[in-house]
């Protein structure tokens, strides 16, 4: 292990980037801002995807697929939407290359210029509502409950692996409803699905709340979000669920006949999470030795490493480990036996620590004699010597313990780093240390802008779950109906 990796203390940002490489999750590609998601990283994303997909289907949604390209004119149809997305999009203008006349390679064939440019989707509201227009005539056609797993492109100027990339993978739900009430209920339901996923699978506590007008999705009447705290005290928006009102229905003229035959505009929602969750997962749990994964999302939950000198010793250990493996697999626990003879146990220990494998079993000839194995847990880095008898039950319980320990640890960290604050002067000092700050705000965009300009902090959300409390804005002294959460954010 010749390479020196940054610790969180030394350089949090470099620590993150080093970790993504060291755990073999992803890497930068030669294409500006685009990443390659490597097999181990993709396996974690696949787990997230599978779990979420089941939850979407349980709540009545089906998957479908809409075109990658959006005609330029569609983007313009919803005024605030185009403002939000036009500045950062990949534009297809031609459809053919040809050999350069000087033999230097291929060039764009000017004769293949498109009449109307196509935008690589930054999000799909416009192309989808253009289809929904033809699918919806009557209240009987509603609701439409569709989700899409797709790649999207936003031309980001500053990119970071998983957190902000030009192309990323995500899911986007797009639903159509007969009533405002039903669309709002859908928006809330999907926020709860995300919050449940974050807490129970990612072991990442989140705060549910509403975005201010400044931070709302371009085209939404209301944006709900889940916000998580990273280990540097910064906030990360982990998922959003938008109540779109009738904005896209109006932009694309989508009306339905209600039971009385009256024509009404359709109500809409959209909601999404992306490969950004990978960044959130990494920064919530990991440490200076590498990735720490909650068992619910670990591609390998248990790894076993044999410690031996002779082939004979290895054979005896392997027999025992295969027996244990069988029991673990029958409990649905994913298991890897690393008997690669080219690597030493110490190297393997470091490798699986870097990759965040929750539980490691090590077994040598003496362990075998004693009928015991050494079981190490990744989260606390503690070890126990455990009898073969009941080892499978021990590990099953241990995985549950790790899962809940990670959530509790993250909750405690967030609690320690969340403060109520009433003085803007104190706020300006405290915000530099990181963390969430519960403060009164007068409800205006002007005050929010001023705070952002002066401190780089934004209102992460108007949280749902804190008691109402009247007060005065920490900046202007104007009345406030409750505290909101300020933080610097990814």
Residue numbers at the binding site for its own copies (CB under 8 A): 27, 29-31, 34-39, 42-43, 46, 62-73, 75-76, 82, 86-99, 105-106, 108, 112, 117-120, 127, 130-131, 134, 140, 146, 150-151, 153, 155, 167, 169, 342
- Cis amide prior to 347 (ω within 30 degrees): no
Which CB, 96 or 383, lies closer to its own copies? Answer: 96
Q: How far is the CB of 300 from its own copies (least distance, A)?
A: 12
Burial category of 281 from C-beta neighbours within 10 Å (exposed 0-12, middle 13-18, buried 19 and up): buried
Query: Which residue in this structure is represented by tokens 């797009």?
Result: 174
Q: How far is the CB of 86 from its own copies (least distance, A)?
A: 4
Sign of the alpha-carbon dihedral angle for 305, 308, 310, 315: negative
Q: How far is the CB of 276 from its own copies (least distance, A)?
A: 14
Both structure tokens of 444: 């205006």
Which CB, 87 or 331, lies closer to its own copies? Answer: 87
Enumerate the β-bridge partners of residue 177: 267
Which CB, 94 or 262, lies closer to its own copies? Answer: 94
- Cis amide prior to 172 (ω within 30 degrees): no
Q: How far is the CB of 107 from its own copies (least distance, A)?
A: 8
Which CB, 144 or 302, lies closer to its own copies? Answer: 144
Enumerate the β-bridge partners of residue 236: 228
Which CB, 146 or 277, lies closer to its own copies? Answer: 146
Which CB, 122 or 290, lies closer to its own copies? Answer: 122
Q: Residue 101 contacts by C-beta under 8 Å, 6 or more apart in sequence? A: none
Q: How far is the CB of 93 from its own copies (least distance, A)?
A: 5
Query: Which residue in this structure is represented by tokens 């990759």?
Result: 355
d(CA 150, CA 169): 6
Q: How far is the CB of 151 from its own copies (least distance, A)?
A: 6
Task: Write b or e for each residue in 194-213: b if 16 or more Cβ atoms lie within 10 A of its Cβ, otherwise e.
Answer: bbebbbebbbbbbbbbbbbe
Measured distance between the N- and C-terminal CA atoms of the chain, rounded to whole angstroms:
31
Q: How far is the CB of 267 from its own copies (least distance, A)?
A: 20
């Amino acid at each position: 292990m010749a390479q020196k990796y940054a610790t969180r203390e030394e350089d949090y940002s470099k620590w993150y980037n080093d970790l993504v490489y060291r755990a073999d999750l992803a890497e930068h590609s030669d294409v500006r801002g685009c990443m390659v998601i490597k097999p181990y990283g993709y396996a974690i994303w696949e787990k997230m995807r599978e779990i979420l997909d089941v939850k979407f289907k349980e709540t009545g949604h089906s998957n479908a697929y809409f075109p990658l390209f959006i005609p330029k004119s569609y983007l313009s149809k919803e005024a605030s939407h185009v403002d939000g997305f036009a500045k950062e999009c990949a534009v297809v203008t031609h459809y053919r290359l040809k050999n350069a006349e000087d033999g230097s390679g291929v060039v764009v064939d000017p004769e293949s210029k498109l009449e109307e440019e196509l935008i690589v989707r930054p999000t799909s509201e416009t192309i989808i509502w253009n289809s929904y227009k033809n699918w919806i005539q009557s209240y009987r056609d509603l609701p439409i409950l569709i989700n899409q797993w797709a790649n999207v492109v936003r031309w980001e100027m500053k990119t970071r692996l998983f957190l902000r990339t030009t192309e990323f993978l995500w899911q986007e739900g797009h639903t159509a409803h007969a009533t405002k009430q039903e669309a709002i209920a859908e928006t809330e339901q999907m926020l709860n699905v995300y919050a449940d996923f974050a807490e129970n699978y990612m072991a990442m506590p989140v705060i549910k709340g509403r975005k201010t007008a400044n931070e709302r999705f371009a085209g939404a009447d209301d944006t709900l979000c889940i916000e998580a705290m990273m280990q540097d005290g910064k906030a990360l928006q982990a998922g959003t669920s938008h109540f779109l009102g009738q904005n896209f229905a109006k932009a694309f003229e989508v009306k339905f006949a209600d039971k009385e035959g009256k024509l009404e505009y359709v109500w809409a929602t959209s909601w999404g999470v992306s490969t950004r969750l990978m960044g959130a997962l990494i920064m919530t749990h990991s440490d200076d030795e590498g990735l720490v994964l909650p068992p619910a999302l670990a591609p390998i939950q248990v790894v076993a490493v044999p410690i031996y000198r002779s082939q004979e010793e290895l054979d005896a250990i392997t027999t025992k480990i295969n027996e244990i493996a069988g029991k673990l697999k029958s409990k649905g626990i994913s298991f890897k036996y690393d008997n690669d003879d080219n690597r030493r146990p110490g190297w393997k220990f470091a490798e699986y620590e870097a990759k965040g494998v929750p539980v490691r079993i090590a077994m040598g000839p003496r362990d075998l004699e004693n009928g015991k194995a050494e079981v190490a847990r990744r989260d606390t880095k503690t070890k126990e010597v455990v009898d073969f008898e009941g080892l499978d039950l021990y590990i099953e319980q241990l995985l549950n313990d790790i899962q809940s320990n990670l959530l509790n640890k993250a909750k405690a960290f967030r609690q320690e780093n969340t403060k109520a604050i009433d003085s803007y002067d104190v706020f300006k000092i405290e915000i530099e240390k990181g963390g969430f700050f519960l403060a009164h705000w007068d409800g205006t965009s002007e005050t929010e802008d001023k705070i952002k300009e002066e401190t780089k902090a934004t209102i992460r959300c108007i949280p749902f779950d804190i008691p109402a409390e009247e007060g005065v804005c920490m900046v202007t002294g104007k009345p406030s109906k409750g505290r909101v959460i300020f933080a610097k954010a990814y």
